Chain A
């Protein structure tokens, strides 16, 4: 599991809120810093892949543990 600099708990939130909250969190972070996101929306798995591809922020890891989806995104 990568180290991270900031964490965002988007549990219970549905599309598009996890993406919007993540974007907001990343905006306040410096380039190269890592954001860990926790979500429960199953749609967020594909959405964070698409978000990373389109924004240039790197999706370092995407895992599922016990109904929670964990993402590590490195700010571009």
Chain B
């Protein structure tokens, strides 16, 4: 079977948006795809050694809530952390993998991860805070692989 290729651009760094790139990349690898993820802008947060991802109900009326919470209450200090830990414990109870676990499964499966050098410079990220085994590159680096891919996703 000829090896297919999947290219993903990960642009978001919240807990909920961390899932699609890692779920798809790890599954694609299990199906025999060669996979690359290009992390840019807020997506770079997903490459930190120590992940502290959060999810916010603010500006997201679609987020299921155990009870209706008025927007002004959602904006109170501590609400974001509270919602994030609620979401994490819900996920755990449903047997959903943690982002850390999915990320290590991706690395184990040789998913190539590329951090956008421009964003690293822009936000003055310290690359020692990022996990090992990743590469740094720009848009042209992404297209070198994406141009030959069968599936290309922007997340």
Contacts and interface: CB of A to CB of B under 8 A. Distances in A.
Contacts of B1: 55-56
B94 A14 contact: yes
B95 A16 contact: no
Contacts of B134: none
Interface stretch (A17-25, A28-36, A59-67): A17-25
B62 interface: no
B26 A20 contact: yes
Contacts of A23: 30
Contacts of B71: none
B105 to A, nearest CB: 6
B147 interface: no
Interface of A: 12-17, 19-20, 22-23, 40-41, 51, 54-56
10 contacts: A14-B95, A14-B96, A14-B97, A15-B23, A16-B30, A16-B97, A20-B105, A40-B95, A51-B30, A55-B1
